[in-house]
Amino acid sequence: MKKSQRVEIKKILLAQIALSGDGLRLGRLNASLGRIDADNFGECFKCEQDIPFAVLKTCPERIICDKCLDKAED
């Protein structure tokens, strides 16, 4: 992920943390914020492919890609 994209995702995370109440999503958002500077941030936890930037923009707490999410729901 490009540095500029990382900066953008970080802003989105901070904004969403401010807006979200307590709960599961807040925990996930905070976890993503803690990993934002990691080399593998934005990669799928399962298959290690990059999660599309557009997906991360709407869902910055995502840690798995659409493909693996589909499989998980089978």
Name the CA dihedral angle for 41, 14, 5, 73, rounded to a multiple of 10 degrees.
50
The answer to the question of residue 63 lying near Zn ion (CB under 5 A) is no
50 binding Zn ion? (CB under 5 A): no
Among 13, 44, 56, 63, binds Zn ion (CB under 5 A): 44
Closest CA to 63 of 74, 47, 54: 47
Tell me the number of residues near Zn ion by CB under 5 A. 5
**CB 11 → Zn ion: shortest distance, Å?**
25
* Inter-residue contact 42 to 1 (CB < 8 Å): yes
The contact set with Zn ion (CB under 5 A) reads 44, 46-47, 65, 68
